[in-house]
Amino acid sequence: MALATLTSFVDENDKAAFDEFCSSVGISSSDAINMYVKVVVRDRKLPFEVKQIDPFFSAANQSHLLKSIQQLEAGNGKAHELIETEAE
């Protein structure tokens, strides 16, 4: 089987921690990356969940909410009655 080179740039502290982990379980970093590649190719998916963080917690939304709370606490809000409707 012909081998090819895969180059990836990672934070040097992450690389050191990864190398240390791999060594502690008796494999090389190259072996670990090859295992990862084989699992992705075999399963046709990443071996972990990748998801977007809930947009409710985005910095822009949290900033808007904080500003709204500050306005209410400063007495710059309006009270409205809750209007309930019949459920369909």
- In tens, the pLDDT along 10-38 reads 999 999 999 999 999 999 999 999 999 99
Spans of all domains in the chain: 12-43
Whether this prediction's pTM lies above 0.85 is answered by: no
Predicted local distance difference test score (pLDDT) of residue 88: 62
CA distance 80 to 72: 13
Specify whether the CB–CB gap between 68 and 60 falls below 8 A.
Answer: no
- In tens, the pLDDT along 43-88 reads 999 999 988 778 888 888 999 999 999 998 998 888 788 888 887 6
